[in-house]
Structure 1
Amino acid sequence: MRALRFCLVITLLGFASQHAALAQAGKHSAHENLGVVNFKTSCSGVAQPQFNRAVALMHSFQFARAIEGFKETLASDPSCAIAYWGIALSDWGNPFGTGQRPAAQLEQGLSAVEQGRSGQAKTERERAFIEAVARLYADVGKTDQRSRILAYESAMADLSSRYPDDEEAAIFHALALAASADPADKTYARQLQAGAILDKLFAQHPDHPGLAHYIIHAYDVAPLAGRAVGAARRYAEIAPSAPHALHMPSHTFTRVGYWQDSIAANRAAAAASDREGQIAEELHDMDYLTYAYLQRGQDRAALSMVRSAGEVFSRFDPKVLLSGAAGPPAGYFAHAAIPARYCLERRAWADAAKLVLTRSLI
């Protein structure tokens, strides 16, 4: 009888533990829509949906929220070492961001890699993901950033080749290809290679946030932008809970001259970025919005952006390295570009001569 009671207690405790973890995973889901991601792991059944949610956030460049999600995954299953891969890749930030990564950001990413290695991921595939992201942080003092980015792309190419049925591996390889493209290469070889991978998968998984997002990035040059219109039309519908998913379609709309679509996208994106406290992202949205207003001849609306940008910039903290897709450089850029665009597009040269530069702290 005691044995029966003991088994009953253990069973109930197990159900209670699982219920608590599921409640933690589900607390985000009432009004949250991030798209559909299925990144298979060896983690527990409770941790798996938490991990998928964190990857979905990362696919929409919601890096701070993704890191929180991966930490929730580890709280549910401390043996889920692949979660450290997600933290490390999120620590890198926007792969299309320009400039050198700050030392503090590199230290955080390397720490996550080391924790992932010491966590002894349960499968060779999961260990391969951790070793691939390690290339971004390896020998920082001896190897330049460009070489590390290319090494990461090469590692992801190898991983995807070794696991040809792993769609997430293919997606992250395609992202690495597009992000490592040489801007001077006007054949757009890497972008086209990435786009071919993504287009094929997007036809099979039309609700995947990373596929829509990275297609837009892969074709984010004027000669290729028309190829991304379908993905641009879908992305905000796939992941409306990510501010960047509301903004990113406007990259394509701007390239192809769909100004009213860009206005609608960035008005929604700026409001969402403001709600999430992603100030650099909000300024980036406003920059695109200003340009679209000017192309439509809506000078009064553009002027309202110029006037409100100062207040938004007053809330900008360049010490916040990771939040949404836009980092500190994007915040500074937008703050300078918004009034400059307003003068340039209207040929208001006297006003342009009066613009005051803001000193960057980065």
Structure 2
Amino acid sequence: MDRFDLGAHTKQISTQNDEAQRWFNIGLNWCYGFNHEEGVKCFLKALEHDPDCVMAHWGVAYGSGPFYNNVWRQFSEAEANAATRLCCDHIQLARKSADRASALENQLVEALAQRFQKPYAVSGEEFDRWDDDYASAMRRVYYANRDDHDVMAIFAEALMTRTPWQLWNVKKGIPAQNADTLEAMDVIERSIAMHDAAGTPQHPAILHLHIHATEMSDEPERAMRSADILGTLCPDAGHMNHMPGHTYVLCGEYEKAKIASEKAIRADNMYVDYAGPFNFYTTARCHDLHLMMYTCMYLGQFKPAIAAAEQMCATLSKEVLSAPDRPQMAITMEGYFSMKMHVLVRFGRWQDIVDAPMPDDQVLFCVSTAMHHYAKGVAHAALNNFEAAEEEQRQFFQAVDRIPLDRKFFNNTARSTLAVGEKMLEGELEYHKGNYEVAFAALRESVQRDDNLEYTEPWAWMHPPRHALAALLSEQGHFEEAEQVYRADLGLNNELQRCAQHPDNVWALHGFVECLRQRGDIDELLVFEEKLTQALAKTDVPITSSCLCRKQVEDFSKSNCCSG
């Protein structure tokens, strides 16, 4: 618990015991880094040294309840019953020692009590009301203590957790209905400005929340400085090292996202060596590996992408996914196991896909089973094994039909995510059979389904259908449409919501440069040839098309490839 360097942030509380204070600080920093289970352990250690410490009791309740990445509706009934009972108990214990606490500490306890109004699970609608009541109570605490940066962080997260991952309408670029996004942003950016004015270190939780508050917006770069600073503050907190990667990927800074992910994975490996895999933080470790895969795919780097995928598969063992005390793990996490197939499809490893064994337990690994059939279908189509591809397509449909409706892949259902693959597989199969118009119609539909997925970072479907559509359009000489598809993917024509753009990715740059050459636009071509040259220098495999399903390719990998 105390072997990790979580940074220098401290919060002075009402205790005469130095060890209680130390353990409280450690617990608070774990919670700020979204490892609440570890935080609770530390708050309990604080209580061993000071059993009447009000803020330690507050910490147990705060850390045992919902947060932005694990809201009430994601708790199983047993988990919600245990959490509400424990939190109510510690709220009452904190109240009994109110005379030992400061006015602010008692205000925090009373505000938190609004999040745990009964010692048992209630309906989702009532849980939502509790979150609303808690946010309202924290608003009062904030206005009574406007210069306390911990209060700012706790209040901002309370606002954001009312509508988790629904802070912005990504299609319109405005705050989502019923969300307190602008208020949260005001609080967060006020804290940042105050630290700047005072010349004091920024608050790590504020920077963390700044990234979350902006990532769905039209201006993710607004948190770029926060991302840069956060990456220096908490060396052994995996999630805090990972978070800058959200901003970096959205802004096309894939190399910086890779470095952030490497730091996160290093810290996560330290943590799993200490704590083991049977904890909620395994979800964060998989998320960090997922971003590593994603950013390396956009860099055109197969080796680190497949290494992260294989580590993810090793992490999500049958034992972890079927742990009896964590029934939500399979529902929310099994989809991560399937992500290796995206890497193999992205890099055109057709024979590796064909040879890959199916999951042993196809009931537990139901999403992964469908993804394997999808990938095998695409691979067989690319290899012109049409009968085998059609059989995989048939088995894909059957596998999707067996997936429980509640299976999730982060903010999307598994079925809605796989619906993108349904049309992508159809498009690939029809294209290689020579049915080009049918193929393009299917791929355009795949693009639409992909655009309509709920926001996640990384995006739930990791291989952009636009890359396949534009590559195959180009192969058939439809450069005008292909150019527009690439422009949308690169974020050059403002047709696509900001969070679904992929600025300066090597795959789309390759196709876009080919289109510009065909059109003879010298001025724009010179700019993007230089971008492509820089992007190609970072790849570890030849990039010959925006999708390696294309067979007639353009190799721009030589150093003088981009001369006229």
TM-score of the pair, normalised by structure 2: 0.52
CA contact 1:54–1:69 (8 Å) conserved in 2: yes
CA contact 1:263–1:293 (8 Å) conserved in 2: yes
Indicate the residue corresponding to 1:202 in structure 2. Answer: 192
Indicate the residue corresponding to 2:312 in structure 1. Answer: 309
SS at match of 2:74: coil
Indicate the residue corresponding to 2:95 in structure 1. Answer: 117
SS at match of 1:316: helix
What is the aligned counterpart of 2:290 among 271, 276, 287? 287
Q: How does 1:280-359 map to 2 (within 5 A)?
A: 280-314=283-317, 316=320, 319=323, 331-340=333-342, 343=345, 350-351=378-379
**In the alignment, structure 1 residue 62 sits paired with structure 2 residue 90:** no
Indicate the residue corresponding to 2:156 in structure 1. Answer: 174
CA contact 2:242–2:261 (8 Å) conserved in 1: yes
Residues 259 and 221 from structure 1, CA distance in 2 versus in 1: closer, same or farther, beyond 3 angstroms? same
Q: Which has the higher contact order (CA 8 A, sep 6+)?
A: 1
Deviations 1:161-216 (A, max 9, x none): 12233332222111212222372753226233222222222241434221211111
What is the aligned counterpart of 1:248 among 243, 247, 260? 243
What is the aligned counterpart of 1:100 among 67, 70, 74? 74
Q: How does 1:4-15 map to 2 (within 5 A)?
A: none
Cα distance between partner residues in 2 of 1:321 and 1:238: 34
Indicate the residue corresponding to 1:13 in structure 2. Answer: none
Q: How does 1:7-26 map to 2 (within 5 A)?
A: none
CA contact 2:17–2:49 (8 Å) conserved in 1: no
Q: Tell me the CA shift for residue 233 of structure 1.
A: 0.9
Aligned residues with identical type, % of pairs = 20
Q: State the one-letter code of the partner of 1:125.
A: L
**In the alignment, structure 1 residue 42 sits paired with structure 2 residue 4:** no
TM-score of the pair, normalised by structure 1: 0.79
Q: Tell me the CA shift for residue 155 of structure 1.
A: 0.9
Cα distance between partner residues in 2 of 1:53 and 1:242: 11
Indicate the residue corresponding to 1:141 in structure 2. Answer: 122
CA contact 1:294–1:342 (8 Å) conserved in 2: no
Deviations 1:24-54 (A, max 9, x none): xxx937x62423233x432225233432332
CA contact 1:232–1:248 (8 Å) conserved in 2: yes
Indicate the residue corresponding to 1:154 in structure 2. Answer: 136
Count matched residues: 331
Q: Tell me the CA shift for residue 145 of structure 1.
A: 2.3
Q: State the one-letter code of the partner of 2:250.
A: R
Indicate the residue corresponding to 2:207 in structure 1. Answer: 212
Residues 60 and 41 from structure 1, CA distance in 2 versus in 1: closer, same or farther, beyond 3 angstroms? same
Q: How does 1:120-131 map to 2 (within 5 A)?
A: 120=98, 122=100, 123-131=102-110
Indicate the residue corresponding to 1:239 in structure 2. Answer: 234
Residues 244 and 302 from structure 1, CA distance in 2 versus in 1: closer, same or farther, beyond 3 angstroms? same
Q: State the one-letter code of the partner of 2:204.
A: P
**In the alignment, structure 1 residue 258 sits paired with structure 2 residue 261:** no
Q: State the one-letter code of the partner of 2:84.
A: L
SS at match of 2:215: coil
Indicate the residue corresponding to 1:4 in structure 2. Answer: none
What is the aligned counterpart of 1:72 among 45, 56, 59? 45
Larger displacement relative to structure 2 (194-203 or 233-242): 194-203
- Higher radius of gyration, 1 or 2: 2
Cα distance between partner residues in 2 of 1:175 and 1:321: 27
Q: State the one-letter code of the partner of 2:320.
A: F
**In the alignment, structure 1 residue 275 sits paired with structure 2 residue 270:** yes
CA contact 2:228–2:244 (8 Å) conserved in 1: yes
Runs of at least 5 residues in structure 2 that lack an aligned partner in the other structure: 273-280, 349-373, 380-391, 409-564
Q: Tell me the CA shift for residue 86 of structure 1.
A: 0.9
Residues 100 and 111 from structure 1, CA distance in 2 versus in 1: closer, same or farther, beyond 3 angstroms? farther
Cα distance between partner residues in 2 of 1:106 and 1:275: 31
SS at match of 2:147: coil
Cα distance between partner residues in 1 of 2:249 and 2:85: 36
CA contact 2:40–2:60 (8 Å) conserved in 1: yes
**In the alignment, structure 1 residue 28 sits paired with structure 2 residue 2:** yes
What is the aligned counterpart of 2:183 among 183, 193, 199? 193
Q: Tell me the CA shift for residue 110 of structure 1.
A: 2.9
CA contact 2:296–2:302 (8 Å) conserved in 1: yes
